[in-house]
A and B are shown apart, each in its own frame.
Chain A
Amino acid sequence: MTSTRFDRRALLKLAVQAGLSGFALEQLAGVPLLGTWLGERLRNPLVNPYDAFAMMDDALRLGPSMLGVHQAMADEAEGWTLVQIKVLNHVYTPLVFRLGQLTGGTVTTAADVPVATQNVSNAGARSMLQSLGANDVSDKPRYQNLRFNKWFANILHNGTADGGTPTATNLLGVGTGDVAELSADKVAVQAFLHVAQIDSTVNHALRGCKLRQTLPDLTLFAQQSSLIQSPLGITCFMMGGNYDKAEGAIAANAVLSENPVESAVVRSRSVRDYVAQIGQYVGKSYADRASIEQNVIYRMDHLVQKDPVLRRDLINSIAQFKQGLTTLNSAADIESNRQTLDLGQANSQNLAGKQVGASTEFLAQCKYVAASLDLPGTPVRNFSLFVNATDLDQGPIDVATDGGGGNKLVQAFSYVEAMRQLGMGLNMLAKKIAEGKKMIVVVHSEGGRAASMADANTGFALVLGPKGPGLLDDQLYANMGLINQSTNAVLKDTGLKSSAVAWDVDGLKAADGTAANAVANTGDVQMGIVEFLEQQTGLKARGSLSAADGMFVKLKRA
């Protein structure tokens, strides 16, 4: 597949040339207007071109950048959208997967293999999880093949808090139009087990989510290499005030540079902050904002020009943004929508050292992403999302603590709530994929949680993307032999460092594409996204990578 004509890097280069030669970028076929703005940005050292918030701030002052983006994109093949979801602090494999001897649709394990409810403190919560199938493998063949437990699989499939079909209460404030049954033929789901950390010496630090220790975040790598051409850069969200950064320097989500020391290129904001930025674009003016038929400015334009194209496009663009803003505003509302605390549902979040009902902050991020994809020109296509799951430190999965360290700024979900919102949010994103959006989603953590609920090393990852010829297919990457037993060391404690074992299915590759007999880590899964996007865009981003840095998971194609 050839790359689209819109190439951000090429445009920036052209902008430099234009600045030197006086060449009118506006006259470039296919990129009307955008060149003006990008050229201006290039000359403005104060604007971080990777930071969607800063770019919007600048764009909103100049306004037309949105219009420019819109127009530049109008004739282009739609580019890819990337969503990286970081789950900190650590993930607990049994809460999502049911591993063990699979026979006739049922998984059996020995008593020494923990199930999802092994560490639940509230009897009601334990009962809820059991009744919804957290200790059982999914009864749906598709998810059974992925070894999802029934509870998580149903949440993912239906996009609801209890995994049932949508009702007035199980959507947690999300609209019925935001979720849908996960498409069997348009959305691929891939799961990766026994996934190691990129640096096993670092305990839940943000840099554990990077592509490699000496490479940046996936979102930044993709943006820099033009695999993802997000005109306004990277949108980076945080949920909750802080996470328990442990050995990290940065307490909130950020897009990190290649510097091995944590160095933020794009810092995170709330959904509401982003929505407020976009709101400035459409709302704050005395000048007429009416539609073209009634617009006073448009009528005044006609005094000197019979066809004021720029104005017409500007007015129409604003109208489209207004429409999109309605949805974005609802995303911001969801962010502050706090559930009633029900310990029997384990829907808790830490707030100032106390458990309260969890707000739907992660769902808000997903709704924002979904709504953004409908904005004219898709000005934002690169997203870093954050699920703030509490640092259990031996605590139960249904309780939201303050990060184990007494840090009241940590506003993390209980593990149950974190996986619940993760499943629902993935469904919302999958719906957009099913609608035809070229979006790929990767979920991973900085590590895993041990059976004792202590900080540990080995976790899992998930990928969602478009399904179909040349695209992705469902796949489970695991050591199938090991997970299909009633007990063994890996099953007994999926989070231990020793549980990061090599898969016995095809997937992990060396940089040259040959099969690699090694343990996959979270960076390898992310590098699989890079390889997939390379194939889709025709670009080469991994050229200089070799050895361990060049390894990748070959995501299964349909």
Chain B
Amino acid sequence: MIGGAVRRALKASFIILVLALSCEGATGCSSDQISPLTSALGQKKKVSKTDDGGDPSQDETHYTKEIDNSGANFQVKDVLLLKSSLDSCVGPGMTTVKAEMLLPTDLNAQVAALPDGKIRFLLPTQYQDGQNIVDRESGNLVDEANGTRTSTTADSLTDTYLRSLETIANVVAHNCSLANPNCKCATKDDARAMLERCLPGLDPETKEMDEAAEMLGLVCADGAPGMRKAIASMISSYAFAQAR
């Protein structure tokens, strides 16, 4: 499902960002800031296997640094990495804005309900049919290629970034259907597979990941609305936002 080129690009970005995150290169990274989970993640370990036949073992040891409360040291995915991560997670073409996502121009107007529990959630003054939501939101994200950034802090986690990510997550979730294998998450195993695919930097063998898979599976099992809620919530999370 995931192209090798995309995977390699993702891997390259991932390695660069992991290096930037290493404890040795950061200030204020003390042992008491490392949570049990990230302590586990901080162990030298192999990154999950690749499907493109390449050798993933080279350079793929990394450390994860716990971050402080402000989000100032939380390194987020840039636009390029977000796009490739979403492609890896749910497949290509899932970030397109559709007309049915747009609220009516008159917010008080009565409009027909959408099937499958879908909702309209985008303000028509701000979004258009056919837009790529990541491109549309790039001004609120980190877009190194175009010199835009979320804030004056280049790649830290901000409230703006989080809400923009939620908008992206909503578009992806809206575009998901139960028939789409990439959106399948209604069992613990399916949810675990999704987490491994969408959060490749996290060790799938930890207790926390196991609990997350169980929780996500339970939410996702509630029909199409549950599936969308699970996927939108997962993509909206710090875990997805973080560059690894």
Contact = CB atoms under 8 A, between A and B. Distances in A.
Given A39-B152, A311-B238, A304 B202 contact: yes
A287 B66 contact: no
B228 A64 contact: no
B27 interface: no
A299 interface: yes
B85 to A, nearest CB: 14
B58 interface: no
B166 A285 contact: yes
A63 B163 contact: yes
Contacts of A19: 152
Categorize the interface residue count of chain A. Answer: 35 or more
B179 interface: no
B153 interface: yes
A12 to B, nearest CB: 14
A167 interface: no
A284 B215 CA distance: 23
A300 B70 contact: no
Contacts, number: 170
Given A26-B72, A287-B229, A299 B169 contact: no
B97 interface: no
A36 B125 contact: no
A23 B154 CA distance: 10
Contacts of A37: 159-160
B133 to A, nearest CB: 12
Contacts of A32: 70
How would you classify the secondary structure of chain A's contact residues: helix, strand, loop or mixed?
A: helix
Interface in A1-55: 18-19, 21-27, 32-33, 36-37, 39-40
Contacts of B64: 304
Nearest to A313: B159
B95 interface: no
B159 A61 contact: no
Contact of A57 (B125, B167, B170): B125
Contacts of A304: 37-38, 64, 202, 238-239, 242
Nearest to A60: B123
Interface string A293-319: 000110111111111111100100000
Interface in B147-206: 150-154, 156-160, 162-164, 166-167, 169-170, 173-174, 199, 202
Interface core residue of A18, A39, A272, A287 (most chain B CB under 10 Å):
A287
Interface in A60-76: 60-64, 67-68
A273 interface: yes
A301 B238 CA distance: 5
Nearest to B199: A303
A170 interface: no
Interface residues of B, number: 64
B236 interface: yes
Nearest to B166: A287
B120 A273 contact: no
A297 B235 CA distance: 9
A63 B231 CA distance: 20
A277 interface: yes
A18 B237 CA distance: 28
B82 interface: no
A61 B123 CA distance: 7
Interface string B114-140: 000001110101100000000000011
A305 B166 contact: no
A302 B67 CA distance: 12
Given A301-B238, A305-B238, A64 B103 contact: no
Nearest to A276: B107
A25 B35 contact: no
Contacts of A272: 108
A314 B160 contact: no
Contact of B153 (A24, A63, A68, A288): A24
A300 B160 contact: no
A376 to B, nearest CB: 14
A284 to B, nearest CB: 4
B176 to A, nearest CB: 9
B107 A297 contact: no
A286 B230 CA distance: 8
Interface string A270-290: 001100110110001111100
A300 B237 contact: yes
A185 B158 CA distance: 45
Contacts of B166: 63, 285, 287
Interface in A505-544: none
Contact of B169 (A36, A286, A302): A286
A280 B119 CA distance: 12
Given A299-B215, A310-B159, A305 B121 contact: no
A296 B170 contact: no
Contacts of A287: 166, 169-170, 173, 229, 232-233, 236
Nearest to A63: B163
A297 B241 CA distance: 12
B107 A299 contact: no
A40 B215 CA distance: 36
A24 B120 contact: no
A308 B238 contact: yes
Interface string A63-93: 1100110000000000000000000000000
B208 interface: yes
Nearest to A59: B163
A57 B125 CA distance: 8
B79 interface: no
Contact of B162 (A57, A279, A311): A311
A309 B78 CA distance: 21
Contacts of B119: 284, 286
A489 to B, nearest CB: 50
A40 B219 CA distance: 35
A288 B229 contact: yes
A310 B161 CA distance: 11
B159 A33 contact: yes
A68 B225 CA distance: 30
A36 B121 contact: no
B228 A286 contact: yes
Contact of A303 (B158, B174, B209, B230): B209
Given A285-B166, A305-B74, 4 more contacts: A286-B233, A297-B237, A300-B233, A300-B237
27 contacts: A24-B151, A24-B152, A24-B153, A26-B70, A26-B71, A26-B151, A26-B158, A62-B160, A63-B163, A63-B166, A273-B107, A279-B107, A280-B103, A284-B119, A286-B174, A286-B232, A287-B166, A287-B232, A288-B232, A288-B233, A296-B216, A296-B233, A300-B237, A300-B238, A303-B199, A305-B66, A314-B162
Question: Which 8 A-B pairs give the minimum distances between C-beta atoms?
Answer: A64-B159, A63-B163, A300-B237, A286-B232, A276-B107, A284-B121, A301-B238, A306-B35
